[in-house]
Chains A and B, each alone.
Chain A
Amino acid sequence: MKRIKWLAALATVGMFVAACGGSSSGTSSSTANTGKVGGKLVIDNVSGSTWTCQFNPFNSAVLGPGITFAPVYEPLEFVNILQSGNPPVPMLATSSAWSNGFKTLTFTIRNGVTWTDGKPFSAADVAYTFNAMKSDKVIDLNALWSADGGPLTSVAVKGTNQVVFTFKAPSQPIFYFVADQTPIVPQHIWSALNQSKLHSYPDSQPVGTGPFMVSSCSPQNIKYTRNPHYWQSKAGHPVPMIKEVDYPAFLSNTPGNLFLAQGQAQWGGQYIPNVQSFYVGKDPAHRHIWFPPVLNVALVPNLSNPLLGKLPVRQAIAYALDKATISRLGEGGEQQPANQNGVVTPTFQSWVDSALTQPAYSPAKAQQLLKSAGFTKGSDGIYKDASGNRLAFTIKTISGYSDWDASLQVITQQLKAVGIAVTVQDENSTPYTSDIQGGHFQLAYAGSGGPAASPGPGPYYELRGWLFSGNIGSTNYSRFKSAQADALFNQYAGASQPQQVQIMHQVQKMMVDEIPFIPTTEGVDWYQYDTTNIGGWPTQSDPYAQPSPYSFPDNGQVLAHLYPSS
């Protein structure tokens, strides 16, 4: 076990250095820690609208930009997706343990933590947070409770400092949503509200346990100031070391990108076209970028379509795509080509089944596959089957995603070269979402950036979203239904770690053999950072958290790590 982890860590680091060509060296150790509290951090992440000055961490509109969870509110334990082999980092819980065949989860809650209004934090707050989801189902955002379709059946305080979660079935993967993805809120404030309407509580002066507090908020800017009584502080080692944080609101990318390029912000979470010349080139000694991949972007066939339901057609599409070109032209090289096995690398390199051969770019092989399946090329250069049905499809995509549009232009040309005609159809995000969820499409471009399964510490989370039959209608867009796949995902929940790797190997084999969808590029966390005055940034060589300002609760980890430098 230890050896595999060590090898995996080494391989991960090696792959980071080798594969992520677009990012720079990331030497954070060049900035010296002054050891004193001070400095101001300015965050640059385009939220698309002015701030409403509400900080309710159960309001999905507020969660998205990362303004409340986790600078202010914190999770029980922090799970780092980028280092999925590592154990979780204790936060409000000092330890956790599964028992009863992964059906009982016990957390030991940390002592000595206080809320920012001075009241002590305890296990009761944790139990309250989860039980409140029963009174107001809307705040059960991850559908944990059994009444909302999840496996959780009870949450109760045990003794003075333990909380016990009981599940109706083995539920290892739920750990991520319970421990990492749920913000803990203070019982003494929230229990006084209307319990059935917790989701609409504005929470304009949030009380949390986290490293920062909201000191003022206007539609244009949120100002945070450090929490002087933050529990991570020790004598001689104050945490956090940054004194103030500004988080301005940007309505669109252009002013946001310019603000960053002019050096007025140090922490960016932006997609910047031509980032090298636009941003890095202005101060290459201090400005860095790093885009760790976390979630696939894919070309998704609707398996109920009679032509796309045929394996040779999907195989032909997979062989026809030159993902390196799609990545270069469509995403400006900022998103790496993806793998047909569905595993995002190098992030989850340790889960890859290297014995599997994946389809490589080969237009000749694509056409050969079509021919041997009985398709013939028509006079217009497009293949058709024996009944004359042409391989001509529409691809639905979200209007306004210019990088997707660019990638699709490349894909259109590549498919045309092997005799498959596709037309791109832009849709606004709402009809797009209901179309892909409802199966009203032939081909679709979907994944990271659009509505998609959320990532987790391992390929299981994303792939279950794409392939589990229970997700048809939500994230299983291709409508893939396989009893074998379902069984594998269910087994995973109760399996040991090496068994889980084996299970994922089998899922990968299914991805390669049956091609339920075709990952094209790997969606990334957008991240720019400036080391002129601030150090302690997450980097390729030190990926202690997902680095974007909008990743929660990873942003809390970053905020606690940063320090003013000389």
Chain B
Amino acid sequence: MRYLTRRIGLFLVTLWAALTVNFIIPRVMPGNEAQAVLGTFRNINPAALHALQIQFGVNAHQSVLSSYFEYLGNCLTGQFGVTAQGVPVMSEIGSKLPWTLGLVGVTTVIAFLIGTLAGVASAWYRGGRLDAILPPALFIVSTIPVFFVGLLLIYVFAVKLNWLPLGGNYSVGATPSFSASFIWDVLKHALLPALSLVIVTSGLWVYSMRNNMITTIAEDYVKTGRAKGLPTRRVMFGYAGRNAILPNLTGFAMQLGYVLGGAIVIEYLFSYPGLGYLFYTATTDHDLPLMQGLFLFYTLAVLVCVLIADLLTAVLDPRTREA
């Protein structure tokens, strides 16, 4: 119980830190977003300027401290205001969320599976050719910046071979529906971005899984399992794998932040209209309400995953409860 309380405490502190960072940064830099927008018209209408400023979330007439508490209150009640274009932030996030969730969710699961299986196999056949080649290869590949993998894939498959589309999430002019042709269109557009992410992130899981497996294999209960004559696969997965994966869960959750970051770059590269691209444009446009909503969303996503991972570890591994 104490373990859980400590973790939830950490959760809350991190949340507060993220909110505060989100609040401070835009206010540190001088610059008036509203003025930039209106500067192109004939004369700047002072009333229009003021209204836009409020919409942008920068109310020059309020003290910083009261702005801060108002901001905290708004965040906790889910009021993130409207974007620079006048659309409610929550609905913008809601409309883009499925695309990123789909892309990141599926690729993370696939990459985790590939990496974990590779780690387990390499550890089991340790010293063999598989172990000598696979983990280093996957790991080196994971150090390649994800946008470079994306660039290569675009160059080969989209530009040179013209097999796959260059970007976007579905063809221009197609109407979203659940028809087979539309789903196929979506998959075609998601293939290269997903592939980029899978290639680069598979390597993240390999080593942790392999090293945990190696340590676990040395344990007595594994020897017992094999001595009893159980089939290799049963021992590999049922005895060793299950225990080796435990420390990996928390690592998995924390790597999620890294994967989400990679998704931002990939969405930018492929002009994939998900949350990542939205975050990028929000920051370059200095669209304060949208930026704050999204950054909070990212932090919450990682925090929730970490918490779930911790809960799972606590449930699955009695040892942690003593800590």
Residues of chain A having any CB pair with chain B under 8 Å = 42, 48-50, 52, 54, 56, 59-62, 137-143, 148-150, 177, 199-200, 202, 218-221, 246, 248-252, 254-255, 258-259, 264, 400, 428-431, 433-434, 437, 451-454, 465, 471, 474-475
Query: Within 8 Å of chain A (Cβ to Cβ): is B168?
Result: yes
Given contact pairs A251-B271, A254-B271, A433 touches B86 in the complex (Cβ within 8 A)? no
Cβ–Cβ < 8 Å partners of A59 in chain B: 85-86
Residue of A nearest to B51 (CB): A138
CB–CB B46/A148 < 8 A: yes
A277 to chain B, nearest CB (A): 14
Given contact pairs A251-B277, A430-B286, A218 touches B48 in the complex (Cβ within 8 A)? no
CB–CB A140/B39 < 8 A: no
Q: Which of A61, A254, A264, A474 contacts B84 (CB 8 A)?
A: A61
Q: How far is the CA of A400 from the CA of B280 in the complex (A)?
A: 13
Cβ–Cβ < 8 Å partners of A199 in chain B: 48, 51, 86
Instruction: Give the segment of B25-33, B64-72, B196-204, B248-256 that binds chain A.
Output: B25-33
Q: How far is the CA of A62 from the CA of B36 in the complex (A)?
A: 16
* 13 additional contacts (CB under 8 A) given A62-B85, A200-B82: A140-B47, A140-B48, A141-B41, A199-B48, A246-B173, A255-B166, A430-B31, A430-B33, A431-B30, A451-B36, A451-B40, A453-B42, A475-B39
A137 to chain B, nearest CB (A): 3
CB–CB A138/B173 < 8 A: no
Cβ–Cβ < 8 Å partners of B36 in chain A: 429-430, 433-434, 451
Cβ–Cβ < 8 Å partners of B95 in chain A: 219
Interface contacts (Cβ under 8 Å), in number, total 147
CB–CB B86/A200 < 8 A: yes
CB–CB B166/A50 < 8 A: no
* Most chain A C-beta atoms within 10 Å of own C-beta, residue among B32, B33, B39, B166: B39
Q: How far is the CA of A42 from the CA of B173 in the complex (A)?
A: 9
Q: Which of A48, A139, A150 contacts B43 (CB 8 A)?
A: A150
Query: Within 8 Å of chain A (Cβ to Cβ): is B77?
Result: no
CB–CB A264/B41 < 8 A: no
A102 to chain B, nearest CB (A): 17
B87 to chain A, nearest CB (A): 5
CB–CB B31/A143 < 8 A: no
CB–CB A141/B45 < 8 A: yes
List B105-139 residues whose CB lies under 8 Å from chain A. none
Given contact pairs A52-B86, A221-B172, A454 touches B31 in the complex (Cβ within 8 A)? no
CB–CB B38/A220 < 8 A: no
Query: Within 8 Å of chain A (Cβ to Cβ): is B63?
Result: no
Given contact pairs A149-B46, A451-B40, A50 touches B273 in the complex (Cβ within 8 A)? yes
Residue of A nearest to B175 (CB): A218
Residue of A nearest to B43 (CB): A143
Query: Within 8 Å of chain A (Cβ to Cβ): is B167?
Result: yes
List B4-62 residues whose CB lies under 8 Å from chain A. 29-33, 35-48, 51-52
Q: Which of B42, B46, B82, B87 contacts A142 (CB 8 A)?
A: B42
List B152-202 residues whose CB lies under 8 Å from chain A. 166-170, 172-176
A206 to chain B, nearest CB (A): 14
CB–CB A433/B35 < 8 A: yes
CB–CB A428/B168 < 8 A: no
Query: Within 8 Å of chain A (Cβ to Cβ): is B281?
Result: yes
Cβ–Cβ < 8 Å partners of B33 in chain A: 430
Cβ–Cβ < 8 Å partners of A255 in chain B: 166-168, 271
Residue of A nearest to B281 (CB): A49
Cβ–Cβ < 8 Å partners of A433 in chain B: 31-32, 35-36, 39
CB–CB A474/B39 < 8 A: yes
List 6 A-B residue pairs with CB atoms under 8 Å apart, sorted by A's residue number: A140-B48, A250-B271, A252-B167, A252-B268, A254-B271, A437-B35
Cβ–Cβ < 8 Å partners of A49 in chain B: 85, 278, 281
Q: How far is the CA of A142 from the CA of B87 in the complex (A)?
A: 23
CB–CB B85/A52 < 8 A: yes
Cβ–Cβ < 8 Å partners of A452 in chain B: 39-40
B147 to chain A, nearest CB (A): 13
B132 to chain A, nearest CB (A): 41
Q: Which of A61, A142, A143, A451 contacts B39 (CB 8 A)?
A: A451
Q: How far is the CA of A87 from the CA of B277 in the complex (A)?
A: 46
CB–CB A434/B85 < 8 A: no
Q: How far is the CA of A48 from the CA of B271 in the complex (A)?
A: 10
Q: How far is the CA of A309 from the CA of B49 in the complex (A)?
A: 31
Residue of B nearest to A453 (CB): B42
Cβ–Cβ < 8 Å partners of B37 in chain A: 60-61
CB–CB A52/B87 < 8 A: yes
Q: Which of B31, B39, B167, B273 contacts A219 (CB 8 A)?
A: B273
CB–CB B52/A177 < 8 A: no
Given contact pairs A218-B176, A434-B31, A434-B35, A143 touches B44 in the complex (Cβ within 8 A)? yes
Given contact pairs A255-B167, A433-B31, A454-B40, A141 touches B85 in the complex (Cβ within 8 A)? no
Cβ–Cβ < 8 Å partners of A451 in chain B: 36, 39-40
Q: How far is the CA of A566 from the CA of B226 in the complex (A)?
A: 79
Cβ–Cβ < 8 Å partners of A139 in chain B: 48
CB–CB A474/B273 < 8 A: no
B161 to chain A, nearest CB (A): 15
B206 to chain A, nearest CB (A): 33
CB–CB A138/B48 < 8 A: yes
Given contact pairs A430-B286, A431-B31, A137 touches B45 in the complex (Cβ within 8 A)? yes
CB–CB B172/A61 < 8 A: no
Q: Which of A149, A150, A219, A252 contacts B271 (CB 8 A)?
A: A252
* Most chain A C-beta atoms within 10 Å of own C-beta, residue among B46, B167, B176: B167
